[in-house]
Structures are given as structure tokens and as C-alpha cells.
Structure 1
Amino acid sequence: MTEIKVPIIGYMNSPYLEKFGIPRQPNLVQVESYIEMLEPYNDLLAFEGINEFSHLWLIWQFHDNKNQQAKEKFRPQVRPPRLGGNKKIGVFSTRSMYRPAPMGLSVVQLKEVKKVGRSVRVYVTGSDLLNGTPIIDIKPYIQYSDAVLDAESGYAQDQPERMAVIWTENAEQQKQNLIKCQNLDSRIMNELEQVLALDPRPAYQDDAERIYKMNFAHFDVSFRVGVACITVTEIIQLSA
């Protein structure tokens, strides 16, 4: 079997510091992130005309997939989180990371491409990529051909429901202190609430008393999940 080698053109810089909490599809959360382009792809000439497109396709690599890296035997079926994590379905009927080629595909909204020092950065919103994800290619999204309005999406036809997010008095005080003392952009907290509202827990976990922890944008966030709401109990800044 012939293997195809592809270049890495850049790396994603995003607030998703771990797999836990990453939305299961792009554009569910309008998180801002950027791609740091590598040489020789960090040439603004390569992006001439890209501002005429509102959205982009990102082709990327599942780089933190330990089972994939170990080159385990091909598994024809997986357990999608959308089906509760218990029901098996064919791998080619899912977007699971456990697949023959560790490649992902995401649509994101383009904000801007700009030079920062010697670097060229592609700023986007709506990404579902882990911080440090290798980017393989960038392509423009074509509305008339890429958007299929009457498409059927099987078990994932409907968007996931969003839960209310509330803060305990202690967590709210911690949040306000971070915003004031660390000169923190309140946008980060808005993005955090969008992530939490999607209930980041594995589908098979349902313990109302359990305290979950998640690293997001260099913060350690603790929360509980109730019947209809997420309660943030603590937020602290991670050590540099």
C-alpha cells in the first residue's frame, strides 16, 4: 500500500488546550483562533484574494490521537458521542478521530490574514481544533456548491441543545477579578460559556454531584451539570 506524505503548512493556536470541552462540530461556538503559518507558506502572496471569501475549509491532522499513532489494527466500527457512546456504527458513517487516515475537515469563518512580526497568521472563528493542531491545507468555501440545504444528516440532523450557564457567587467573583486584574478580554468568558452550554461531558456520564474540570484559554474551570443548567464553581488561571 502506497503512503502519501503531505506537508504541514502551519499550526492552530486556539483556546482548546485539551480534548475535553472541544465542540463536536465546527461553528457551534464562535471561538477566535489563528493559524501560525510555517515557511515557505508564510507568504502573503499565497493569500492574495482570500478576503473575498467569508469562510474557509481547513484540512488538518488528528495529532493527539494516541491509538492512531500506535497504528492499531483498523476498527470498522466506533461509538459516536452523539449516540450516547454505547452504540456502534461504521467508522465511515462518523467523524470519529479513530479512522484509517488521521485527517479532519472543518469549515471556519475567516476574520483576517495579517503579518505579525515575521509571522503570517490566519485568524478565524468557529474552529473545533485543539491547540497545536497541524494544518495540512486551506481552501475557500464555495457557497453554491458546498452548501447543500436539503441534505440529510442521519443521527446528527439537529444541532445539540444548549444549556443555561450560571456561576456560583465565588466563581463570579473569581471571574470578575480575572477580568479586572489580568486585563482579560471579556470575550474569552463569553466563549467559555458557549463551550459549557454544549455540555462537554462524555455522553455516558450523568452524575449531577460530580465536579468536572476543563482547561480552556489558560484557565482551569470547575463545573457541575444539572438537569437544565451548567454551574461554574471555580475558575483559576493556569500557571505559565
Structure 2
Amino acid sequence: MTELKMPIIGYMKSPYKEKFGIPRQPNLVQVESYIEMVEPYNDLLAFEGIEEFSHLWLLWQFHDNKNQQESQKFRPQVRPPRLGGNKKIGVFATRSMYRPSPLGLSVVQLKAVKKVGKSVRVYVTGSDLLDGTPIVDIKPYIQYSDAVITAQSGYAQDEPERMTVIWTESAEQKKQTLLKHNTLTAQIVNELEQVLALDPRPAYQEDAERLYGMLFSAINVKFKVTAKGVEIQELEELL
């Protein structure tokens, strides 16, 4: 069988610094990020006319999937988080990262294409990509053919519920300090709250006393999940 080789056209720059906490589907959180195009694809002529489209398809590579790198053995079944992380179903009936080909597909909203020095950047919102993710291709989203209103989505027919995000007194004080010193912005705070509202814990973990840590943008946020909601306990600056 002939091996398919695809060029990397750019790399995603996003506030998601680790896999933990990344929304499990695109467009659940309106986080802003951008694709840094690489030569020879950093040419504005390649994007002429793209401003007429509101959304784009991104084809990308799972580059930080250590389990798949260590073992190339095909796994015909996986445990989707949406089903609690316990029930197994066929890998081709999921969007699991543990696939024969480590490729992902996401729809994002186009904000702008800008020339920054010698770089060309494609700014988007709604991405579910880890910082540094290799981008293989960019295609326009076609509303009349790509949006299937009557589609059935099996176990993922409905959007996940969102939880209330609560700032403890100490975390609120730290947030205000970081905002004052420009380590945080109101936009980053809003994006962080959107991410935490989706409950980023693994599906099989429901320990109300456990303190979780998540890297996001330039901070490490520590939180608990209780019956009240997601409680932000601490904020730490990343050095």
C-alpha cells in the first residue's frame, strides 16, 4: 500500500497549552487563536477571496498522541467520553484521536487573515486544537452542502450541558491582580470560563474533593467540581 505524505502548511497558536481542558468538539467555546503559515504557503495570494466565507474547515494532525506513537496496533473500539468513558464502540463511530490515521477535522469561524512581518496569520475562533498543532489544509465551509439540518448524531445529538463557574474569594483577588498587571485580559477570563463550564474532567472522574490543574494561555488554573458548579480555587502565572 502506498503511503500518503501530506505537507504541513502551518501551525496553530492557541491558548490550549495541554490536551486537558480542550473542548471535545469545535465551536463549543469561542476562543480566539490563529494559524501561523509556513513557507511557501505564507502568501496572501493563496487567501484571496477567503474573506467571503464566514467559516473554514481545518484538516490537522494529532501530533501529541503519545499512546498512538508508542503502539501502531489498530484499536477497533474506543471509549468515548460522551458515554461516560466506560462503554466501548467502534472507532469509526467516534472522533477519538486513536485512529488508523492521526488526522482531525474541525470547523472554525474565520476572523481575519493578516500579514505580520514576514508571517501570514489566519485568525479564527471556535478551534479545539492544541497549541502547536500542525495544519495540513484549509478549506472554505459551504453552508448549503456542509450543513445538514436533518442529520442524526447518535449519542452526541445534543450539546453538552454547561456548568456554573464560581470564583472563590482568593481566586477573584488573584484574577483582579493579574488583570491589573495585564497578565490576564477580560477576553482570556471569558474564554477560560467558557472552557471550565464544559467540565473538562475525564468522564470517569467525579471526585468533588479533587483539585484539578489546567494550563490555559499564560496561567495555570486550579479548580474543583462540586454540586454547585466549577469552583476556581487558584490562579498561577506561567513563568
Instruction: Verify same fold: TM over 0.5.
Output: yes
Give the equivalent residue in structure 1 for 2:204: 204
Letter in 1 for 2:84: G
> For residues 72 and 228 of structure 1, what CA distance do their matches in structure 2 show?
42
Gaps of 5+ in 2: none
Give the equivalent residue in structure 2 for 1:5: 5
Letter in 2 for 1:224: K
Matched residue SS, 1:51: helix
Alignment pair present for 1:55 and 2:63: no
Structure 1 residue 180 displacement after superposition: 0.6
Letter in 2 for 1:185: T
Q: Deviations over 1:31-57 (max 9, x none)?
A: 000000000000000000000000000
Letter in 2 for 1:149: I
> For residues 202 and 67 of structure 2, what CA distance do their matches in structure 1 show?
18
Letter in 1 for 2:154: G
> For residues 47 and 10 of structure 1, what CA distance do their matches in structure 2 show?
14
Matched residue SS, 1:208: coil
* Contact in 1 for aligned 2:167/2:231 (Cα 8 Å): yes
Percent identical pairs in the alignment equals 77
Give the equivalent residue in structure 2 for 1:171: 171
Give the equivalent residue in structure 2 for 1:20: 20
Letter in 1 for 2:140: P
Structure 1 residue 69 displacement after superposition: 1.8
Give the equivalent residue in structure 1 for 2:128: 128
Q: Deviations over 1:57-81 (max 9, x none)?
A: 0000000001222342101000000
> 1:87-236 counterparts in 2 under 5 A?
87-182=87-182, 184-236=184-236
Letter in 1 for 2:204: Y
Matched residue SS, 1:173: helix
> For residues 184 and 204 of structure 2, what CA distance do their matches in structure 1 show?
35
Structure 1 residue 182 displacement after superposition: 2.3
Letter in 1 for 2:200: P
Q: Deviations over 1:166-189 (max 9, x none)?
A: 100000000010011126321000
Letter in 1 for 2:191: E
> For residues 229 and 183 of structure 2, what CA distance do their matches in structure 1 show?
28
Give the equivalent residue in structure 2 for 1:40: 40
Structure 1 residue 228 displacement after superposition: 3.9
TM-score w.r.t. the length of structure 1 is 0.98
* Contact in 1 for aligned 2:85/2:203 (Cα 8 Å): yes
Matched residues, number: 239
> For residues 109 and 190 of structure 1, what CA distance do their matches in structure 2 show?
18
* Contact in 1 for aligned 2:183/2:218 (Cα 8 Å): no
> For residues 182 and 142 of structure 1, what CA distance do their matches in structure 2 show?
39
RMSD, aligned CA: 0.8
Q: Which 4+ stretches in 1 moved above 3 angstroms? A: none
> For residues 183 and 90 of structure 2, what CA distance do their matches in structure 1 show?
48
Letter in 1 for 2:32: E
* Contact in 1 for aligned 2:12/2:129 (Cα 8 Å): yes
> For residues 71 and 111 of structure 1, what CA distance do their matches in structure 2 show?
38
> For residues 176 and 225 of structure 2, what CA distance do their matches in structure 1 show?
22
> For residues 40 and 180 of structure 1, what CA distance do their matches in structure 2 show?
41
Matched residue SS, 2:215: strand
